[in-house]
Amino acid sequence: MKKKEIGKRTGRGIAFLLTMTLCLALLPGCKKNEEEQSESQSVPVVSFETGMFAEPQSSETVSEPEEKHTVIEGVRQISFYRRNPSTKVREKKSEFSAPWVRGTDISSFEVFACEDGEITFKTAYFDDAFWEKWNAHEGKDGCKIGYSVDFDLKSGEHIHKVLLKAGDELDYRPYLENYLYDDVHQAKGAWYSHLLPEEMNENTLITSIKFTPGEKIDEVGDEIHATVFVYNSEDDFNEKGDYIGDVSAEITIRRE
């Protein structure tokens, strides 16, 4: 009886040892599977259309690349200025408020190739002050000045226009009247008016812009956004005709 009991206990011990050995052998395999599952996002997935392996696709939305800007050669600064009627000093402006009353100008803004807070004329003539700032930039002879004007109608329609020459501003004239001026190619002390399409030439510089309420000014929202920019060629505009250069300044004109 004792020998049989010993045999049974010995058999159970051998079975136990075999079971433990098998489990120990399987443990490394289990651990690897857990690691593979934790990195499942990096495992290639099968493309059933081609039967080949494909890289996993991100669930995040792919953003469109930012539009490239061109580097303007020559004039590297430009700003809006408004003549203070009391001090006669030109003050740099990025925003301006005034009543929008039909028959009365909102305001005129001049541009200079600088970012000075104020400009005091050393002479009585605009062109002297303008050329002093413009000529401080090497390569300025290949530069032109353009504008863009944006505003919303109360109906929800958005008006956007790039102004490179006289006549471009006529598209939205019922709502807002803009007048463009070349203040530097004029006889000193002589009276002159805004530019006309037939007066444009390769030397024209649009050095100032005036804002006047149109007949339908009441249908315009309470803000007008204008941008002045320097450009070298048509390469400084995208396929839509919008400026993509890197020399510009903005002003917001609010209804008072």
Secondary structure (H, E, C), 92-150: ECCEEEECCCCCCCCEEEEEECCCCCEECCCCCCHHHHHHHHHCCCCCHHHCEEEEEEE
Residue 67 lies in a domain: no
Domain span holding position 251 = 79-255
Residue 4 lies in a domain: no
Residue 47 lies in a domain: no
Rounded CA-CA distance 150/251 in Å is 11
Structure tokens at 254: 């609010």
Residue 110 lies in a domain: yes
> What is the domain count for the chain?
1
Residue 55 lies in a domain: no
> What's the one-letter identity of residue 69?
H
Residue 73 lies in a domain: no
Residues of the chain below pLDDT 50: 1-11, 13-59
Residue 39 lies in a domain: no
Amino acid 63: pLDDT = 53
Q: What predicted TM-score, i.e. pTM, was given to this entire model?
A: 0.74
Residue 118 lies in a domain: yes
Rounded CA-CA distance 34/100 in Å is 71
Collapsed DSSP state (helix, strand, coil) of residue 180: strand
